[in-house]
């Protein structure tokens, strides 16, 4: 299945102190560890005027692949996309597994 865009949901993201990589994502009461970082895209030169510059990070968790966006102007993290079929280090873990 492909990445499904969702309405931006605010989340808490814990990052590594030294390199800034996301280590855990907290949505509501569920905390998911980040298995790996798949992609990083910096939109600091060309960006929508309404949202401002942002950095989009695609991460793999044990249950799903998430597209996280850090909005620099607002200094907050949001989920912008989700692929529930691509979780885990090898893509075999699924939602509720």
Question: Binning pLDDT at 50, 70 and 90, where does residue 97 land?
Answer: very low
Q: Which residues contact 94 (CB under 8 A, 6 or more apart)?
A: 63, 84, 85, 87
pLDDT of residue 2: 80
pLDDT of residue 88: 60
Question: Which of 12, 14, 15, 4 lies closest to 28 in space, CA to CA?
Answer: 12
Q: Which residues contact 23 (CB under 8 A, 6 or more apart)?
A: 14, 15, 16, 33, 34
Q: Are 77 and 10 in contact (CB under 8 A)?
A: yes
Condensed to tens digits (0 to 9), the pLDDT of residues 32-73 reads 999 999 999 998 888 878 888 999 999 999 988 999 999 999
* Average pLDDT of the chain, as a whole number: 85
pTM beyond 0.85: no
């Amino acid at each position: 299945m492909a990445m499904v865009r969702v309405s931006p949901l605010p989340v808490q993201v814990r990052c590594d102190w030294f390199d800034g990589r996301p280590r855990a994502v907290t949505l509501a009461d569920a905390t998911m560890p980040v298995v790996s970082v798949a992609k990083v895209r910096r939109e600091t030169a060309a960006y929508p005027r309404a949202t401002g510059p942002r950095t989009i990070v695609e991460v793999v968790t044990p249950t799903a692949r998430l597209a996280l966006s850090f909005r620099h102007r607002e200094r907050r993290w949001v989920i912008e996309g989700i692929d529930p079929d691509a979780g885990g280090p090898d893509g075999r873990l699924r939602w509720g597994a």
